[in-house]
Amino acid sequence: MTMMKYRMSRRAALGLLGGSAASVLVPVPGARVSAQTLDKVSYQTNWRAQAEHGGFYLAAANGIYKKYGIDAEIRPGGPQQNPSQLLLGGRVDMIMSNSFEAIRYAQENIPFLCIASIFQKDPQVIISHPGQGNDSLAALKGKPILVGAAGRNSYWPFLKAKFGYTDEQIRPYTFNMAPFLADKTISQQGFLSSEPFAIQKQGGVTPLVHLIADAGFENYNTTINISQKMVAEKKDLVQRFVTASLEGWAEYMKASPANAAANAQILKDNPDMDQEKIDYAVKVMTEKGIVLSGDALTLGVGAMTDARWLSFYKTMTEAGVFPAGIDLKKAYSLEFINKGVGKA
């Protein structure tokens, strides 16, 4: 079994400052690989360990990375960490991110790329109480919604353009569900696999959950973002990491006993997590097609397309989020994906 390690790798091992990585022979699938031949790769997630990171954990725990000659270090995120800053500072090889950040890289001429998207649907949701006439996103026009600062700069402009929402509807969201539970007329933002579960547990309410992606919000989420330098200098290593990660996700979404070691590591890394939360997250991600839907059904896990990038950029430009004229091809690469890994 590949052990998950949580110590800072030397910058030379990262290769972002020109240091050389350990030489490696790509192993034959199933062959035993000694630790001395493994390339080290660090991947920084965007939050504490959870099922939404499960495929990466499975690829490490079940030896998939090792099969591809990689000693992968999955680094959990948290409230005090900024993955983009870690990537910019050369302290990590790859990070978990999204379309917004990738396009902003291109806008600011920062040499980073998005090279895969695990989530075909952004799990961002708006949650409402049942029986209040809030049965759709369209029905929420003009009504109070608890929205956080990040949401105001991402999905909120989309909702304004799509459904005619106004900023006057916004109420501050502080990641405390008490205001929502206390007022049946109010709605709030959330993450598909998190807040709805907590609301059921804490308030005894089965809320209405509106997935913004199902209204046409095309943001890629839970991506693999990387420096252009690493892509140029270590293309083979990047391909192996991406393929191994996609295989891990294809397996994790089967929700089979093969997930046990990955889930055990998630529980170890995040004391606030429990198995019930993990099971709920996998269930709703499956039901809503978060990983396996759209292009992933024909192109494989992690799929992205030029057409969707262009459509998302056009939509968000019209919503006032991005200026016109950004060279979108600087934001992403399709080189390492769309090879049919895990497709239905």
Q: Is the pLDDT reported for residue 18 higher than 50?
A: no
CATH fold match for the domains 11-120+219-330 and 124-215? yes
Of the candidate ranges 11-15, 18-22, 108-112, 263-267, the one whose mean pLDDT is the lowest: 11-15
The pLDDT of residue 45: 98
- pLDDT 10s digits, 137-164: 999 999 999 999 999 999 999 999 999 9
**What mean pLDDT do residues 179-190 have?**
97
Helix-strand-coil split of the chain, %, nearest 5: 40, 15, 45
The pLDDT of residue 23: 32
- pLDDT 10s digits, 289-326: 999 999 999 999 999 999 999 999 999 999 999 999 99
Q: Is the pLDDT reported for residue 30 higher than 80?
A: no
Q: Is the pLDDT reported for residue 196 higher than 60?
A: yes
- Write out the two tokens for 292: 């396996």
CATH pick for 11-120+219-330 out of 2.40.30.30, 1.10.3720.10, 3.40.190.10, 3.50.50.60: 3.40.190.10
Helices (H), the chain: 11-14, 54-61, 64-67, 83-88, 99-107, 149-152, 155-163, 178-182, 195-203, 228-233, 235-252, 260-269, 275-287, 296-299, 306-318
In the chain, where are the structural domains located?
11-120+219-330, 124-215
Angle between the N-to-C axes of helices 306-318 and 155-163, in degrees from 0 to 180, rounded to the nearest 10:
70
pTM for the predicted model, two decimal places: 0.89
Q: Is the pLDDT reported for residue 6 higher than 80?
A: no
The class level of CATH for 124-215 reads alpha beta
- Band (pLDDT 50/70/90 cuts) for residue 115 is very high
Q: Is the pLDDT reported for residue 24 higher than 90?
A: no
Cα angle: 121, vertex 125, 131; to 5 degrees: 135
Of the candidate ranges 22-31, 69-78, 154-163, the one whose mean pLDDT is the lowest: 22-31
**What mean pLDDT do residues 68-81 have?**
94
**What mean pLDDT do residues 81-102 have?**
95
The pLDDT of residue 121: 98
The pLDDT of residue 3: 34
How distant is the alpha carbon of residue 37 from its chain centre? 29
Q: What percent of the chain has pLDDT over 70?
A: 89
The pLDDT of residue 344: 64
- Band (pLDDT 50/70/90 cuts) for residue 9 is very low
The pLDDT of residue 343: 84
Cα angle: 37, vertex 303, 75; to 5 degrees: 45
CA distance 233 to 238: 9
Burial of 109 (0-12, 13-18, 19+ CB in 10 A): exposed
